[in-house]
Amino acid sequence: MDQNIKVFLLQHVHIQSDGEESVKTIGIYSTQENAEQAIERLRLEPGFRSASEGFSIDSYLLDEDNWAEGYITTRDRR
């Protein structure tokens, strides 16, 4: 089996009027082209129409850690 299977995560981020981010996971695609085609399909839908700059595509290798550094919370800083 191929050890380097790559997938493409399509998300949309919209900054709400209160400054909070609304992140939507649209889908996970087998190719960059398929993810781009999804953007073209969704770009005309309500909400996406007025925030079409919020789409992003990120590629990931399967079975690989993509965040390995940990993270700091307010509690950790004490």
Query: In the chain, how many domains are there?
Result: 1
pLDDT tens column, 42-66: 999 998 988 889 999 999 999 999 8
Residue 73 lies in a domain: no
Show the CA angle centred on residue 71, arms to residues 70 and 77, nearest 5°: 130
Residue 74 lies in a domain: no
User: What is the spatial order of strands in the sheet that 6-15 belongs to?
Assistant: 21-29, 6-15, 55-61
User: What's the pTM?
Assistant: 0.80
Domain that holds residue 26: 6-66
Residue 21 lies in a domain: yes
Residue 39 lies in a domain: yes
Q: What is the mean pLDDT of residues 10-35?
A: 94
pLDDT at residue 77, as a whole number: 64
Residue 76 lies in a domain: no
Of 78 and 64, the one with more pLDDT? 64
Instruction: Quote the mean pLDDT of the chain.
Output: 90
